[in-house]
Structure 1
Amino acid sequence: MSALNGRRVLVTGAAGRIGLVTVEHLNALGAKVTALSNVDDPELKADRVLIGDTRSESDVARALEGADYVVHLAALPHPSAGTPYEVYTTNVVSTFNVLAQAGALGIDRAVIASSINATGVPFNPHEIRPPYFPWDETAPSDIGDWYSLSKQNDENTARMAWRRWGIDVVALRFPHVNSADELQRMSDLIRIKPESGLREAWTYLDTRDAAYAVELGLTAPFTGALPFFVAASTTNAPYPTEDLLDAYAPEVPRRRRFAGREVPIDLTAVRTVLGFEARHELDLPTLSLEP
C-alpha cells in the first residue's frame, strides 16, 4: 500500500500536461486529491476539484484545507506564454503564495515543478553551453530570460520556506516532458538536427515518469529544500553521446565518458535521494552520427 493512501494532496496546475497525469497517478495510489486549476477540464478527475488562481491568497487557502502534502505545478511554462511581466510575476507569486501558506499551516512536504531552465542555458539569448558534462545541480547558472529567472527564484522560495517553516521541498528540474508519441516526434526532429538538443543535453521525460517522480518527491526520506535534475537515463538522439559531444560541444569539459546513449546529466541525486529511475524511455536505434 502506498504511503499516500488516504492522504490529502493538493495539486496545483492540475489540468496541465503534467498535472492531469499526476492527478491520475495519485488517484491510483489511493490519495485524496484536491485539484486546483485555473480552467475547467472535463478530463480532470479528483476527489475535490476547484477552479482558482494560485496567485490568490483566498483561492490557495481554500485549496489547502485539510491538505497533508502539496504538489505545485501551476505556472506559465515558457518565456512566450505571456508578457515578460506576466510570466515572471505569475510564476514567482504563485510559488511564494503556495509554499508560504503551506509552510505556515505546518504541512511537512511539497514538490514543486522547477525546470532545467533554472540553469538559464536553454533559453539564453547568448551562445552558451552547459559548463561541463555530466551537468549537475551544482553548476553555475547564467540567466538571460524571465522564465528561467522565475524558475531560479522558485527554488530560492523553496529554500526560504524550508528555513522559515521547516517544510521540506523537492524542486524537480524537469526537462521537456510529454507523452510517448510527442517525445518520439521530437526525437525524429533531433535525428535530423541533433545540434538542436545540445542546450538541454538531449534530455526528455515521459509524463508518466514525471508523475512517478512527484510521488517519490512526496514520500522519499528527505529533509531540506533541494533541486533535482530528473530525466530519462538515455538521450532523445539516436546517436552515441560521446559522438554528439565531440561534434557539438568539443570545448565543454567532460568529467567522465558516456556509454552509448547515456544522458550527459548527472542523475545521482535524484536516484540516491528520491530513488527515481525512469520507467518509460524511447526505444531508439544507435546510428552513426554524420554532422
Structure 2
Amino acid sequence: MTSSLNGRRVLVTGAAGRIGLVTTRHLTELGALVTAMELVEHDELKADRIVIGDTRSEDDVAKALDGVDTVVHLAALAHPSAGTPYEVYTTNVVSTFNVLAQAGAAGIKRAVVASSINAFGVPFNPADIRPAYYPLDEKIPADVADWYSLSKQNDENTCRMAWRRWGIDVVAFRFPHVNSAEVLERVANGFVEDPAPGVREGWSYLDTRDAAYAIELGLTAKLSGAHVFFAAASTTNAPYETEALLDKYAPGVPRLRRFVGREVPIDLTAIRTVLGFQARHELDLPTKTLET
C-alpha cells in the first residue's frame, strides 16, 4: 500500500543519530523526500537533501524548513553526561523550541518529537527511588533531579505550547533505551546476572526499526492536538517473569494490574489505540527462574 508520505517533504533533525539514520532510511523507502539536518557531515547519511546546521540557529532551521510538509525532531544531547548540565539543558530546550516555533509559524501541520522515558525523572534520579506505580503511563508523577530529564519534560511543554499557539499537531514519544537488535541482546545478556539496573525503566526497550515505524505512524495518524506516548516493545529485555522482577526489585511499589510472562510494565494502551503501534522487532528470550 502506498504511504501517504510518498512525495511529501519531511525534515529530520538529528538525522545522523542512532534513531535518525534508521528513520531517514525508513521514510525514504516510503517515498518521502527527506531533508536531513545534522551538525556535521556523516558518511552513512543518505537523503534527498542534506542541510548542515545547528537546530539552535534560527537561520539554519529556517533553511532546513524550506518546502517542508512535516517535521521529525530528533536532535538532542541524549544523556546527562553528553555535555555540561548547561549545554545539555539549553541545547535540548532551545532546539525543540526553535524547530517547533518556526515550523508552527510557517504553517506546517504536523511534527513528531523524540521525548524520553526520562521525562518523568526517575531513571536518572540520584535518589534511591522507584516509580510511583506500575505500569508506567503518560500520567505518572514526575520526580526530576537531572538536567536531561528536565529538558525532555520541558520539550513536552513546548509541544503543547506550539499546538495551542500555531495549531501544529505534535506527537512526542517517550522512548526507552532504543538501539539495534545486537546491542539490545547484549543488554539482555547482562540482565541475566543482574536485572536490578532496569527496574526504574521497567526493563523496557525498543528496536531502532520500531522507533522509525512509530515515527511514521506519528506523521500519518489522523489526530489533532499535542500528544505524548510511551513507545516500547511489549516485552521486557530481562529473561524473567515481570511479576518476579517487581517482587524482588520493587516490592513496595503499587501495581495497578498484573503482568503476564515478560510483559513490559508500561501501559501501551494509548499508542496502540491512537496510533495502532505494535513493535515488530522484539527480543526472543527464554524465560528463566529468578532467584529470590
Match of 2:59 in 1: 58
CA distance in 1, matches of 2:270, 2:193: 32
Please state how far the C-alpha of 1:42 moved relative to its aligned partner.
Answer: 1.0
Question: Are 2:264 and 1:235 aligned?
Answer: no
Matches within 5 A, 1:153-164: 153-164=154-165
CA distance in 1, matches of 2:225, 2:131: 26
Matches within 5 A, 1:129-144: 129-144=130-145
Match of 1:120 in 2: 121
Please state how far the C-alpha of 1:229 moved relative to its aligned partner.
Answer: 0.3
Question: Are 2:16 and 1:15 aligned?
Answer: yes
Please state how far the C-alpha of 1:135 moved relative to its aligned partner.
Answer: 1.0
Match of 2:210 in 1: 209
Question: Are 2:72 and 1:97 aligned?
Answer: no
Please state how far the C-alpha of 1:128 moved relative to its aligned partner.
Answer: 1.1
Partner amino acid, structure 2, of 1:224: G
Please state how far the C-alpha of 1:54 moved relative to its aligned partner.
Answer: 0.1
CA distance in 1, matches of 2:223, 2:186: 36
Partner amino acid, structure 1, of 2:33: K
Task: Report SS of the residue matched to 2:89.
Answer: helix
Matches within 5 A, 1:242-281: 242-281=243-282
Partner amino acid, structure 2, of 1:161: A
RMSD: 0.5
The alignment's TM-score, normalised by the length of structure 2, stands at 0.99
Task: Report SS of the residue matched to 1:18.
Answer: helix
Task: Report SS of the residue matched to 2:50.
Answer: strand
Task: Provide Cα deviations, 1:210-263, integer angstroms capped at 9, x if missing partner.
Answer: 000000000011111121000000000000000001111110001110000000
Tell me the number of residue pairs that the alignment of Structure 1 and Structure 2 aligns.
Answer: 291
Partner amino acid, structure 1, of 2:283: L
Partner amino acid, structure 1, of 2:127: H
Please state how far the C-alpha of 1:114 moved relative to its aligned partner.
Answer: 0.0
Task: Report SS of the residue matched to 2:37.
Answer: strand
CA distance in 2, matches of 1:200, 1:192: 18
CA distance in 2, matches of 1:199, 1:58: 40
Please state how far the C-alpha of 1:39 moved relative to its aligned partner.
Answer: 1.7
CA distance in 2, matches of 1:94, 1:191: 38
Match of 2:82 in 1: 81
CA distance in 1, matches of 2:258, 2:27: 38
Amino-acid identity (%): 76
Task: Provide Cα deviations, 1:114-133, integer angstroms capped at 9, x if missing partner.
Answer: 00000001000111111111
The alignment's TM-score, normalised by the length of structure 1, stands at 0.99
CA distance in 2, matches of 1:4, 1:73: 18
Please state how far the C-alpha of 1:35 moved relative to its aligned partner.
Answer: 0.1
Match of 1:225 in 2: 226
CA distance in 2, matches of 1:177, 1:195: 19
Where does structure 1 differ by over 3 angstroms across 4 or more consecutive aligned residues?
none
Match of 1:147 in 2: 148
CA distance in 2, matches of 1:225, 1:191: 39
CA distance in 1, matches of 2:287, 2:262: 8
CA distance in 1, matches of 2:11, 2:193: 41
CA distance in 2, matches of 1:129, 1:152: 18
Runs of 5+ consecutive residues of structure 2 not aligned to the other structure:
none
Match of 1:288 in 2: 289
Task: Report SS of the residue matched to 1:205.
Answer: strand
Partner amino acid, structure 2, of 1:131: A
Please state how far the C-alpha of 1:27 moved relative to its aligned partner.
Answer: 0.4
Match of 1:68 in 2: 69
CA distance in 1, matches of 2:15, 2:173: 16
Please state how far the C-alpha of 1:192 moved relative to its aligned partner.
Answer: 1.1
Task: Report SS of the residue matched to 2:174.
Answer: strand
CA distance in 2, matches of 1:69, 1:226: 16
Matches within 5 A, 1:18-37: 18-37=19-38
Partner amino acid, structure 1, of 2:78: P
Please state how far the C-alpha of 1:9 moved relative to its aligned partner.
Answer: 0.1
Task: Provide Cα deviations, 1:31-80, integer angstroms capped at 9, x if missing partner.
Answer: 00000000211110000011100000000000000000000000000000
Partner amino acid, structure 1, of 2:256: R
Please state how far the C-alpha of 1:22 moved relative to its aligned partner.
Answer: 0.1
Task: Provide Cα deviations, 1:74-117, integer angstroms capped at 9, x if missing partner.
Answer: 00000000000000000000000000000000100000000000
